[in-house]
Amino acid sequence: MDNPILPDDELVAVLNRLADVLDTSKSASPWMTQKEASTYVHMNYKTFKRLTDQGVFKAHSGAKYGIAFERYNRDELDLAVKGL
């Protein structure tokens, strides 16, 4: 193209932002790992784990089904943080 509408560096920046928005793995699911959940609520990982152990945050476990995982629901985290 002889006269591009956007310079190459600006076009790359726009495409990167678009890719971030379209990356559904970041925001599509309300379920998070413990590390993701602690980051989501802006809390130190160890503090988050301690509060989970105290029942402030609810972990959903797959142990009942023989699967080793714990996930946290975004809506439940929002409610728990409001109660702190």
DSSP 40-59: HTT--HHHHHHHHHTTSSPP
Determine, yes or no, domain membership for 68.
Answer: yes
Q: What is the pLDDT of residues 19-64, one digit of tens each?
A: 777 665 556 799 999 999 999 999 999 999 999 999 999 999 998 8
14 or 48: whose pLDDT is higher?
48
Determine, yes or no, domain membership for 67.
Answer: yes
Determine, yes or no, domain membership for 17.
Answer: no
Determine, yes or no, domain membership for 6.
Answer: no
User: Domain range for residue 58?
Assistant: 30-84
Question: What pLDDT, on the 0 to 100 scale, is given for residue 2?
Answer: 67
Please identify which residue in the block is written with the tokens 């790359």. 12
Determine, yes or no, domain membership for 25.
Answer: no
Determine, yes or no, domain membership for 24.
Answer: no
Determine, yes or no, domain membership for 81.
Answer: yes
Q: Which amino acid is at 62?
A: G
Q: Domains in the chain: how many in total? A: 1
Determine, yes or no, domain membership for 10.
Answer: no
